[in-house]
A and B are shown apart, each in its own frame.
Chain A
Amino acid sequence: MTKKLKKKLCLIGSFGVGKTILVSKYVKGIFSEKYLSTVGVMISQKTVEIGDCEVLLMVWDLAGEDDFQGLRLSFIKGASGVLFVADGTRAETLRLTQQHMERLGEFYSDIPTLLLLNKADLQDQWDIAEAHLDEVRGKVKVFRTSAKTGENVEEAFVRITEMMIAPDEPTTEAFL
């Protein structure tokens, strides 16, 4: 029998790293070069089938903040998973994401997380040193993504959804 679940997934990262466009690519299959700043939070939804589960994924795309104090923790309440997003062409966004991960861990240590290093199509502008990446990989699984080419976008969203409904995770309606 198909198990129906509703899960809340949050995207966190600096402004301009491509969170909204990743969601747009995943949920609607649309990519646009135009940068449009998110205000507050934008909510989208998509149904994902994982094994015998039908998961209604509620994607909370949080406005990019460059300091953790600006991030509304109330937006993260009730989340079953978090996708941290950094821009591979701006190393400082990865450093900021690391800070976000540490601070978030203080409040929500049990939530599954992944890190998306976005803009993988811009290899000539890549700004992340391998040593820096190795340091991050020790703490979180990293996906190189490109909303433009679609590289790893579907994979990352499916993977985090799997982690959110993993057998050792509560399969109750975590959202409500």
Chain B
Amino acid sequence: MPPDSPQPFSDESVREGAAGSLDSVLAALDYLVLEAVEDASLRVRGAVPDWFESIYGGGIDVALAESPFLTCFVKEVARPLWKEAPTVPVRSGIWTEAVPDASGNELTELHLEAIAMHGANGAGLLVIQFMGRRFEEIQMLTQRANEKALEHRQLSREVQKKDVLLRCIVHDLNNPLGAVLLNLELLATSDDEQVKAAASLALEAARRQRSLIKSITEVFSSDLSRLSRNRGSAEVVGEFVRGGEYVVNMHLNQALRRSVSILLEDGLTGVVAGERKVIGELEPFVRAVENLVLNALRYAPRDSVVIVRLLALDEGMQVQVEDAGPGVEPELVGGLFDPFTQGTTNRGAMGLGLYFCRMTVEQWGGSIVYEQASGGGARFVFTLPWAGDASQHNYET
């Protein structure tokens, strides 16, 4: 070997060098490594990190004497672990203790975590980490999570209170209305044509009021909470088709009175496997489609057609309700699905129908939009996701 060649390291010197480097890295990362020795004491392995030196200058014996947590962890967790065959390390979890500062007067909080484990040679090791800024990060995240949970609970309570109040109001409104309706129905059978006509008008108004109360209850009561709880429920496609047919049939006469036709375009039957399921429930689905159909009938001109269209898309089942009316006024489109939004003409019940549709569809993970129909009328489109794996289409061939 030439005299100026680098001297090869012995295996031992390589190991020592590596161990020395590792010790300095651990110390730089604020880890203190202690090893259990035969007389049951602990001795420091490698470099001592600055934080430990400044707080427990006297060494590990001082730390054990001053830290109740460390004392407990060593006695209750680490020593029993070291007596066992080498196994997975055990973390203490973070602890906080107040310790005197360098002057020995003011107490400052120290955040640490310890790990009890076995070394490569089977010796018991205790690694103590100074948490520093990491503690602040964990504390901040914990704090935010807890605060959000408390806020959520507070909001839930407010909603509950509102729900109880709403139920009370609805109850108090409905009770006298029942009596009013009963008596008006009696008066409407009167032989006196004038009384009969007046009673019929009043009866219609009272029924309309009952319908309004029902709408308010549907939109603002715990019904929506029920939907929220059942967001995973699903129905087969065929049920939704029958729901669409039901709505169309229910309103045929009403449409005829206005010289309007209602047409159901079923793009699902024969296209999608009958057992294919869609996220949603039949009853609220029917109410949502009915709201859209009633809306369309209100604006549809004489001799026009209201179309209820059911389609199968990759992302889910789509429902379109289209009329040939004037469409939605541009300034209303932005807040169309917000509560109490109404057009300036042909005003509906309370401006809650579309809001109900949106809440219903969104609770199931779907979406609803308004778009202008090709002839200038209104088209409301909502899509409900397929249940199960969206990548499996199961289209019939």
Contact = CB atoms under 8 A, between A and B. Distances in A.
Contacts of A63: 142
Please list the 4 inter-chain residue pairs (A to B) with the smallest Cβ-Cβ separation, ordered nearest first: A40-B94, A42-B96, A77-B76, A37-B143
6 contacts: A36-B143, A37-B146, A39-B111, A40-B94, A77-B72, A78-B75
Given A15-B146, A43-B97, A74-B93, 6 more contacts: A39-B138, A43-B95, A74-B77, A78-B75, A175-B68, A176-B71
Q: What is the size category of the interface that chain B forms with chain A? A: 20 to 34
Interface in A84-108: 90
A140 B378 CA distance: 66
Contact of A16 (B68, B73, B92, B150): B150
B153 A90 contact: yes
Given A37-B146, A39-B138, A58-B68, A176 B153 contact: no
Contacts of A171: none
Contacts of A78: 72, 75-76
A40 B96 contact: yes
Contacts of B90: 74
A40 B68 contact: no
Contact of B94 (A35, A39, A77, A90): A39
B135 interface: yes
Interface residues of A, number: 25
A126 interface: no
A37 B92 CA distance: 19
Interface string B120-156: 0000000000000001001100110011011001000
B25 interface: no
Interface of B: 68-69, 71-73, 75-77, 90, 92-98, 111, 113, 135, 138-139, 142-143, 146-147, 149-150, 153
Given A44-B98, A45-B68, A78-B76, A72 B93 contact: yes
A88 B73 CA distance: 33
A75 B153 CA distance: 29
Contacts of B94: 39-41
B146 A40 contact: no
Contacts of A43: 68-69, 95-98
Nearest to A92: B153
Nearest to A125: B157
Given A16-B150, A35-B147, A63-B142, A40 B95 contact: yes
Nearest to A63: B142
Contacts of B149: 15-16
Contact of B68 (A8, A38, A64, A77): A8
